Structure 1
């Protein structure tokens, strides 16, 4: 039986959180809660990253080097980007100045790190 890493559990947990928040945000946008455009974008970002985190969390150990790097970037990026848009929609304020652009930049770096990791040699899980 293969043990689940801490990163795998965290990635799967955030996949569930982002899936739930994406669904809630889309429902609120569809039914008139808050700023619809902000909620739609926040929900879309959460939805896109939920299955990506789930895939990273379920990936076999050794499949990629440092899977925690893109995963951590996606978690932080979604929390900042979607969190800032949600804050604007409901609280009429930001998390902090440039939270959404910072989160978006972190998301892009996370995806770029996945691209680089795909071309690095895999590590030997037996080592």
Structure 2
């Protein structure tokens, strides 16, 4: 897969994350005791924007290519784990798998640290 195709895939993921975030925000406003959906919505919306920003930084060479892309993929995977687990718990009554949300949260922290490292790492000429 070419770099541009990979970037487009990540931007598509960000668009889907944003749409799902809005949908979960609406659902949380209309369901009783839907704090899980509000948290899932926030994570999706926030990290959709983070994915777009990280891709722009990678594309412009501001951050280290491989580390920046790893952080960006981490945002997509981790947010999917975290929000997916919370949404399933709300709608179905069980999560993805044991510790899915904490695993996603931990991976989000690691991804943010990786993005910081990718900015501090010297970029290749």
TM-score under structure 2 normalisation? 0.89
| Offset from partner CA, 1:31-90 (integer Å, 9 cap, x none) | 127x51000000000011011111122333422112211111111101100000000000
> Which deviates more, 95-104 or 66-75?
66-75
Q: Residue 90 of structure 2 aligns with which residue?
A: 89
Q: Residue 106 of structure 1 aligns with which residue?
A: 107
SS at match of 2:107: helix
| Offset from partner CA, 1:93-127 (integer Å, 9 cap, x none) | 01000000001000100000011111111122xxx
Note the 1:25-44 alignment, pairs <5 A: 25-32=24-31, 35-44=33-42
Please state if 1:55 is matched with 2:56: no
Say whether the 8 Å CA contact 2:62–2:119 is kept in structure 1. Answer: no
Q: Residue 70 of structure 2 aligns with which residue?
A: 69
Equivalenced residues, count: 121
Q: Residue 19 of structure 1 aligns with which residue?
A: 18
What 5-or-longer segments of structure 1 have no aligned partner? Answer: none
In structure 2, C-alpha distance between the alignment counterparts of 1:121 and 1:6, rounded to whole Å: 25
Q: Residue 7 of structure 2 aligns with which residue?
A: 8
Cα offset for 1:7?
A: 2.8
Say whether the 8 Å CA contact 1:7–1:57 is kept in structure 2. Answer: no
Bigger helix fraction: 2
Q: CA RMSD in A?
A: 1.6
Moved over 4 A (4+): none
Q: Residue 43 of structure 2 aligns with which residue?
A: 45
What 5-or-longer segments of structure 2 have no aligned partner? Answer: none
